[in-house]
């Protein structure tokens, strides 16, 4: 692929098409009887959103396995090499991209929050993307794959919302000639489970479907992980989950082709955050924040790669623009295919409470540097968290630590405390293991990145600047524990959650 901007003719055609779409919408209106007519000539928009997966596809440089379907999608469209989520965990990330807003700006920054008696309501003026598509005459769906009648796909939003924003789970139910906005939500990295039994089960399935499972001997781990057999087996199963995801993409494309819709459909392929691992999911390192993003289909330039910084929330504004739907002025998302698009100088991310574990992290990344602010720096990197602590990879890491089998780099994530600030030179240190925050040579860079982050927090009204109210924490914890009991979870697991909740309260009272 050539790394070039959109050529003049392509940009002009896209621009003219969007103007015509908007003019039609204004003339015909988005109301009742005319809404289908206003939308009739617009492209279908299909989002494929994958759980727990980094950019481990062939087109992004993965060499262990092939991913022909995602590769073909990229070859037929635009591949973004520097796309990042604004939250490294699912519900906060999903709350962000479905509104086109930073989760911190809408009060949806705590994972799985607002689930109990205490609710979260969106600020005035914030609309959900499917609602905007409906108003423009689109048929809106959300599903797993393949779609199941009457069963909506994963939403996981942290705020109150109305299910009527989705007409159903399958676009085949739409009116004749009506375009559709479809979200396909897939389990991705979750396919491998969290223990060795799950990894081995997926490997067996891969051998049956593909003829061979990924060989753990071929796995190349990041240097901050030891070549432990548990980690290698898990990563091999993870790569098999990538292969299954790729095959699913091929099935989506084939269905669109067989129905005669492929030529009038834009597919946006993305994951909700990086791989679920010690330094991935829930953390601000590249492993948790960097995701694949491919846009392919009707009116999209082909064979193009882009290395400018984009945020996952940008799929909101971009999708609306492709459909000729006006982008709300208050939306923080940007149309990254716009003729007048100005690339972002920096991208931002936030991580707050995940389940019972209270956290407060913020980061800013430019092309050259990553800055992380650890507001609760007196706590360990791997705070107690029942969801993560039971995973085989975390158990193996802690055992390797106890046995003295980790080198200095691999010990970083197991430290009892964190620095207040982290600064990384991404070109010289792509694995983010050499913290330059205390290096006098980088003092000016540190000051600039710190100020950039503080400005963003102020300008976007970061709700995380104040601690979560105890009433909200208690409300959500009650729902969490009740759910564990309904699922007949191991009593020891439930006891661990209860102990962690008590620890979070104690640490907060101690100012830690």
Q: What is the dihedral of CA 233, 273, 254, 305, to 10 degrees?
A: -110
**Average confidence (pLDDT) over 311-326:** 98
* pLDDT band of 20, cuts 50, 70, 90: very low
Determine the Cα–Cα distance for residues 143 and 289; give it in Å rounded to an integer: 24
15-19, 257-261, 461-465: which has the minimum mean pLDDT?
15-19
Give bridge partners of residue 369 from the DSSP assignment: 425
Determine the Cα–Cα distance for residues 216 and 187; give it in Å rounded to an integer: 22
The span from the first CA to the last CA of the chain, in angstroms, equals: 49
* pLDDT band of 224, cuts 50, 70, 90: very high
Backbone angles phi, psi at 302, to 5 degrees: -105, 160
- 3-state helix, strand and coil shares in percent for the chain, rounded to the nearest 5: 40, 15, 45
Continuous segment of H or E residues that includes residue 48: strand 44-50
Asked if pLDDT for residue 23 goes beyond 60, the answer is no
Asked if pLDDT for residue 361 goes beyond 60, the answer is yes
Determine the Cα–Cα distance for residues 321 and 308; give it in Å rounded to an integer: 19
Asked if pLDDT for residue 292 goes beyond 80, the answer is yes
Note the pLDDT of residue 489. 86
Q: Which SS3 state, helix, strand or coil, does residue 175 take? A: coil
Taken in order of first residue, the domains within the chain and their CATH numbers are 8-337 (3.40.720.10)
pLDDT, tens only, 233-267 = 999 999 999 999 999 999 999 999 999 999 999 99
* pLDDT band of 302, cuts 50, 70, 90: very high
**Average confidence (pLDDT) over 200-222:** 98
304, burial (CB in 10 Å: exposed 0-12, middle 13-18, buried 19+)? buried
Q: In terms of pLDDT, which residue wins out, 499 or 1?
A: 499
The pTM score is 0.92
Residue among 317, 333, 324 at smallest CA distance from 299:
324
22-36, 154-168, 401-415: which has the minimum mean pLDDT?
22-36
> CA of 288: how far to CAs of 97, 431, 479, in Å?
16, 12, 27
Q: Is the dihedral of CA 400, 403, 405, 409 positive or negative?
A: positive
Continuous segment of H or E residues that includes residue 490: none
pLDDT, tens only, 481-490 = 999 999 988 9
Question: DSSP alpha helices (H): ranges in 211-332?
Answer: 229-258, 286-289, 314-322
Note the pLDDT of residue 453. 98
Summary mean pLDDT of the chain: 93
21-30, 85-94, 329-338: which has the minimum mean pLDDT?
21-30
Q: In terms of pLDDT, which residue wins out, 104 or 490?
A: 104
Contact predicate 382/278, CB 8 Å: yes
Continuous segment of H or E residues that includes residue 49: strand 44-50
Residues 6+ apart with CB under 8 A from 136: 25, 30, 35, 38, 39, 42, 323, 324, 325
Asked if pLDDT for residue 94 goes beyond 50, the answer is yes
Asked if pLDDT for residue 3 goes beyond 50, the answer is no
Note the pLDDT of residue 39. 58
123, burial (CB in 10 Å: exposed 0-12, middle 13-18, buried 19+)? middle
Give bridge partners of residue 151 from the DSSP assignment: 148
Determine the Cα–Cα distance for residues 389 and 272; give it in Å rounded to an integer: 21
Q: What is the dihedral of CA 456, 121, 182, 271, to 10 degrees?
A: 40
Determine the Cα–Cα distance for residues 145 and 265; give it in Å rounded to an integer: 18
Query: Angle CA(93)–CA(96)–CA(97) in degrees, nearest 5?
Result: 90
pLDDT, tens only, 381-393 = 999 999 999 999 9
**Average confidence (pLDDT) over 97-124:** 98
* pLDDT band of 40, cuts 50, 70, 90: low
Q: What is the 3-state secondary structure (H, E, C) of 113-156?
A: CCCCCCCCCCCCCCCCHHHHHHHCCCEEEEECCCCECCECCCCC
* Token duo for residue 143: 């599903």
pLDDT, tens only, 168-185 = 999 999 999 999 999 999
Residue among 396, 18, 19, 10 at smallest CA distance from 225:
396
Cis amide linkage into residue 146, ω under 30° from 0 = yes
> CA of 342: how far to CAs of 249, 293, 336, 371, 421, in Å?
30, 18, 8, 22, 29
Note the pLDDT of residue 41. 83
Determine the Cα–Cα distance for residues 37 and 419; give it in Å rounded to an integer: 58
């Amino acid at each position: 692929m050539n790394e070039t901007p959109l050529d003049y003719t392509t940009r002009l055609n896209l621009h003219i098409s969007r103007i015509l779409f908007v003019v039609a919408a204004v003339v015909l209106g988005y109301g009742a009887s005319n809404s289908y007519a206003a939308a009739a000539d617009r492209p279908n928009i299909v989002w494929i959103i994958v759980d727990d997966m980094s950019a481990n596809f062939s087109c992004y440089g993965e060499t262990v396995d092939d991913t022909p379907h995602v590769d073909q999608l990229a070859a037929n469209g635009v591949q973004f090499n520097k796309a990042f989520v604004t939250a490294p965990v699912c519900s906060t990330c999903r709350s962000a991209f479905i509104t086109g807003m930073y989760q911190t700006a809408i009060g949806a920054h705590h994972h799985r929050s607002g689930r109990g008696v205490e609710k979260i309501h969106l600020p005035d003026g914030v609309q959900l993307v499917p609602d905007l598509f409906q108003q423009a005459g689109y048929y809106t769906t959300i599903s797993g794959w393949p779609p199941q009648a009457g069963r909506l796909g994963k939403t996981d939003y942290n705020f109150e919302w109305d299910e009527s924003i989705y007409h159903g789970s399958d676009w085949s139910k739409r009116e004749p000639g009506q375009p559709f906005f479809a979200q396909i939500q897939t389990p991705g990295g979750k396919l491998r489970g969290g223990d060795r039994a799950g990894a081995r089960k997926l490997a067996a399935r891969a051998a049956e479907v593909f003829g061979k499972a990924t060989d753990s001997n071929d796995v190349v781990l990041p240097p901050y992980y030891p070549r432990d057999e548990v980690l290698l087996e898990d990563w091999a199963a993870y790569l098999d989950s990538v292969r299954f995801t790729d095959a699913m993409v091929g099935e989506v494309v084939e269905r669109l082709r067989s129905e005669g819709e492929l030529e009038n459909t834009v597919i946006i392929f993305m994951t909700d955050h990086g791989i679920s691992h010690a330094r991935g999911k829930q953390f601000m390192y590249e492993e948790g924040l960097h995701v694949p993003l491919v846009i392919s289909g009707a009116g999209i330039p082909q064979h193009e790669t882009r290395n400018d910084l984009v945020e996952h929330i940008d799929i909101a504004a971009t999708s609306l623009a492709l459909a000729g739907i006006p982008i709300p002025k208050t939306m923080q998302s940007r149309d990254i295919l716009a003729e007048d698009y100005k690339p972002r100088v920096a991208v931002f991310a936030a991580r707050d409470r995940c389940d019972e574990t209270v956290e407060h992290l913020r980061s800013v990344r430019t092309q050259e540097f990553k800055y992380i602010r650890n507001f609760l720096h007196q706590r360990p990197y791997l705070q107690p968290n029942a969801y993560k602590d039971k995973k085989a990879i975390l158990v193996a890491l802690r055992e390797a630590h106890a046995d003295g089998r980790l080198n200095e780099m691999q010990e970083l994530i197991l430290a009892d405390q964190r620095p207040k600030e982290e600064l990384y030179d991404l070109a010289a240190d792509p694995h983010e293991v050499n913290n330059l925050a205390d290096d006098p040579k980088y003092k000016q860079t540190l000051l600039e990145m710190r100020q950039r982050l503080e400005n963003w927090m102020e300008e976007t009204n970061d709700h995380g600047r104040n601690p979560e109210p105890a009433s909200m924490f208690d409300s959500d914890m009650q729902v969490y524990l009740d759910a564990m009991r309904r699922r007949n979870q191991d009593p020891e697991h439930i006891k661990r959650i209860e102990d962690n909740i008590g620890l979070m309260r104690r640490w907060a009272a101690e100012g830690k």
